[in-house]
Structure 1
Amino acid sequence: MVDGVPFATNWSFHNWNPQDGYTNQIGLATIKNIQFVNKEDSFYAQPDGAGEVAMPGE
């Protein structure tokens, strides 16, 4: 928990394919030192030239 918000801190990464779904594990990660920070609204502004990318099939 970070400031009362649950976070997954131990991750595993697996290969996946449509036929078998998840298969062999290919990696592990541990997330540490999670902090909430305050940013100015301009931090989240869309950069010049950025655009929305549609999901496949949409």
Structure 2
Amino acid sequence: MKQKITRISAVVLWVMGGFLVLVGVFFGEWARAAQGALFIALGVYFWRWKPEA
């Protein structure tokens, strides 16, 4: 169950991060694009994280 929750949160982070990167690049706001990239990296961390049983 915990694994499923972390997978869902990883996907949510990827969607938010991708949106921030697109908005940041489109409007030239590089701080926002960097924040989106950080969210994507955090999503990868959550996707690979294995909670103890």
Structure with higher strand content: 1
TM-score by length of 1: 0.25
Answer with 1 or 2: which has the greater Rg.
1
Bigger RCO of structures 1 and 2 (CA < 8 A, at least 6 apart)? 2
TM-score, with normalisation over the residues of structure 2? 0.26
Q: Which has the higher helix share?
A: 2
